[in-house]
Amino acid sequence: MNNLIPLSNRMIDKIFRVAIYIRLSREDGDKEESSSVTNQRDIITRFVKENENFVIINEYVDDGWTGTNFNRPAFQKMLQDIEKGLIDTVITKDLSRLGRDYIDTGHYVQRYFPEKKVRYIAILDNIDTLQDAGMNDIAPFKSVINDMYVKDISKKIRSALEERKKSGNFLGVTAPYGYMKNPENKYQLIINEEEAKIVRYIFDLYLQGNGLTKISQILTEEGVPVPGVARDIGKTRKTKLYDCWKQTTVSRILRNQVYIGNLEQFKRKKLNYKSKIRVTVPEDERYICENTHEPIISKEKFNQVQEIINGNTSFKSGTKHDYLFKGLLYCADCGAKLYLTYSNYAFKKYGEYRYTTICYTYSKLFNQCSRHSNSIPILESLLIANIKKVCSLYINKNLKEELMKIAEGENQKENLIDNYKTKMDTLDKKIQDTSLYIKNLYVDKVKGVITEKDFIELQKSFETERQNYIKQKEELIKLSSKLEVKKDDQSQIEKLAKEFISLEKPTKELLQQLIEKITISEDNEVTIYFKFKELNDLSRLEENKMKECKTVNKRNKKAS
């Protein structure tokens, strides 16, 4: 079993705190018994017993997780324990158990583990990063081979899926609205009559001359459940619009060929076998499977709707408009986002667009909220001025008393952090000592110095003591981390505040770093929510001063 090169006497004296890492994927072909969780555990445990200077600290098992990426819960927990200093050795059955992506696997084996002073061992591949062994040089090539294996499996799976799709099988997770999966054949769609009635109603309403907004209003006012509510999907309700039909939902239904019995396959695909990102496939590259299931809408009616849609400019993408505070403005009354709207008439008359805000809820359902219209240029000027006031207050050098208090607090934090580090060093020594005691106990038991019963009792006592030290260290790490984060936050606030003040017009990136959101009510009260408590506190203290702002649309816009 142990073919690794013997260590020097100096290294034999060292106690290695071992993490056993086990991974099993049911998607990359690892179904044979030799790769089972139990088999991996037996191989690693036997190897550890053969090396007296190894002490198992913890076992990390990712059962059913792919090796193509490292976003696995047990692996991430192991990394956290490495960062805490609880582990200095990682052992896997072979290199493929660590990972099959050669780029990321190489990062951990050749960079991360050495930088963290962590020894990595792949038993069956005879790899040990602590030894200058020839097999370590071959590790990158093994990673490439493992990666090629995943690529080959991915190609075979993708080919099988493509064949199924071309054969007219439905492979989606959820059936389209109006249909459900056949209980006797999950690859076939059958009509859901309750939903199908709504689909037919939507097509009829559109042919009667109703637009997308009008159809959405009719369905909402009549209490027709939206697809998400009807299927009990997405229970988190953020705005009033959750139960309301959207124009986009109606548009997708009117365009979908599924309602005439066709399946439009390959609409989206992954960038490659390593990436989780999916991209939209151009329409001319998609595959249409005709007459795969019973239609809800006749082809004649569907074609009539498409002719109207193709002649309707509201369906076509227009000019893309952008503004500085995009994504940060919200309606204070209903919680929905405030969007940008503009007038084509103004562009024709003045040669430029006149931009204003509009509540998303109001734009879709007029009776659910109010317009919240504000001139974008004036609003931007108002917000920039108010944010600069808060930033100036934070870095104002005349606040000597406050600055002295901050400096005094910083000294106290530094002393606390140093104290925590000293205590953690002491706990590290105690953890290492108790681990050594446990190891020596095992040796004494093997030599017959102590009985099995004494060994079990003493081992339990030392293990309880060791776990107590580990918990104490974890608590100190949490306390120290909180102080470090707060210290870093204050430095970050000052840096961002100075940068904001220095710019005549800030960048979007800078605003995103400073601002959480901005709410605007119908009676024109603006509230700026910063990402930092210190700035929010200053903003609230200066509320009265900040109300003296410019007007927006001839009405006084208050800011707090």
CB 355 within 8 A of CB 376: yes
Identify the pLDDT of residue 32.
Answer: 45
3-state secondary structure 378-398: HHHHHHHHHHHHHHHHHCCCC
Q: Could you give the CA distance from residue 132 to residue 135 in angstroms, rounded to a whole number?
A: 9
CB 361 within 8 A of CB 334: yes
pLDDT digits (tens, 9 = 90+) for 177-202: 999 988 888 878 899 999 999 999 99
Of the candidates 335, 380, 396, 328, which has an alpha carbon nearest to the alpha carbon of residue 534? 396
pLDDT digits (tens, 9 = 90+) for 104-133: 888 888 889 988 999 999 888 888 888 754
Tokens 């142990």 correspond to 2
In terms of Cβ atoms closer than 10 Å to its own Cβ (0-12, 13-18, 19+), residue 323 is: middle
Lowest mean pLDDT across 22-31, 96-105, 321-330, 479-488: 479-488
Q: Could you give the CA distance from residue 55 to residue 88 in angstroms, rounded to a whole number?
A: 10
Where residue 153 falls among pLDDT bands split at 50, 70, 90? low
Identify the pLDDT of residue 545.
Answer: 42
Q: Could you give the CA distance from residue 363 to residue 376 in angstroms, rounded to a whole number?
A: 17
Q: Which residues have C-beta within 8 Å of that of residue 362, sequence separation ≥ 6?
A: 368, 369, 370, 371, 372
Where residue 559 falls among pLDDT bands split at 50, 70, 90? low
Take residue 284 and report the two structure tokens written for it.
């001319």
What does the chain come to in residues? 560
The answer, yes or no, to whether residue 53 has pLDDT greater than 70, is yes
Could you give the C-alpha distances from 544 to 3, 178, 532, 549, in angstroms and in order?
76, 56, 21, 11
Take residue 420 and report the two structure tokens written for it.
């925590």
Q: Does domain 179-315 have CATH number 3.40.50?
A: no
Q: Which residues have C-beta within 8 Å of that of residue 51, sequence separation ≥ 6?
A: 2
Take residue 504 and report the two structure tokens written for it.
């005549």
E strand or H helix at 516: strand 515-520
Where residue 26 falls among pLDDT bands split at 50, 70, 90? low
CB 524 within 8 A of CB 556: yes
The answer, yes or no, to whether residue 232 has pLDDT greater than 80, is no
Of the candidates 190, 182, 188, which has an alpha carbon nearest to the alpha carbon of residue 167? 188
Top pLDDT among 196 and 371 is at 196
Where residue 347 falls among pLDDT bands split at 50, 70, 90? low
Q: Could you give the CA distance from residue 384 to residue 549 in angstroms, rounded to a whole number?
A: 11
The answer, yes or no, to whether residue 532 has pLDDT greater than 90, is no
Q: How much of the chain, in percent, has pLDDT values that exceed 90?
A: 10
Q: Could you give the CA distance from residue 552 to residue 354 in angstroms, rounded to a whole number?
A: 14
Of the candidates 397, 469, 391, which has an alpha carbon nearest to the alpha carbon of residue 426? 469
The answer, yes or no, to whether residue 269 has pLDDT greater than 90, is no
Top pLDDT among 365 and 398 is at 365
The answer, yes or no, to whether residue 515 has pLDDT greater than 70, is yes
Euclidean distance between the first and final Cα of the chain, in Å?
A: 71
The answer, yes or no, to whether residue 56 has pLDDT greater than 80, is yes
Of the candidates 235, 204, 231, 519, which has an alpha carbon nearest to the alpha carbon of residue 379? 519
Angle ∠(69,70,74) on CA atoms, nearest 5: 140
Question: Mean pLDDT: which of 159-168, 340-349, 499-508 is highest?
Answer: 499-508
Where residue 92 falls among pLDDT bands split at 50, 70, 90? very high
Lowest mean pLDDT across 79-93, 116-130, 506-520, 528-542: 528-542
Average pLDDT over residues 532-548: 63
Average pLDDT over residues 455-467: 83
Q: Considering the domain delimited by 9-162, tell me its CATH architecture.
A: 3-Layer(aba) Sandwich (3.40)
CB 244 within 8 A of CB 220: yes
DSSP for residue 285: G
Average pLDDT over residues 191-219: 89
CA 186 to chain centre: 30
Where residue 5 falls among pLDDT bands split at 50, 70, 90? very low
E strand or H helix at 119: strand 119-122
Q: Could you give the CA distance from residue 220 to residue 205 in angstroms, rounded to a whole number?
A: 14
Q: Could you give the CA distance from residue 229 to residue 543 in angstroms, rounded to a whole number?
A: 42
Query: Helix (H, G, I), strand (E, B), or coil: what is residue 157?
Result: helix
Take residue 365 and report the two structure tokens written for it.
């359902």
pLDDT digits (tens, 9 = 90+) for 469-490: 888 887 877 776 666 545 445 6
Lowest mean pLDDT across 96-105, 408-417, 546-555: 546-555
Please list, residue by residue across 406-419, b when 16 or more beta carbons sit within 10 angstroms of its beta carbon and e when fewer do.
Answer: eeeeeeebeeebee
CB 226 within 8 A of CB 346: no
Average pLDDT over residues 320-330: 78
Percent of the chain that is helix, strand, coil (3-state, to 5): 55, 15, 30
What is the model's pTM? 0.43
Report the helix count and the strand count for the chain, using DSSP H and E. 20, 19
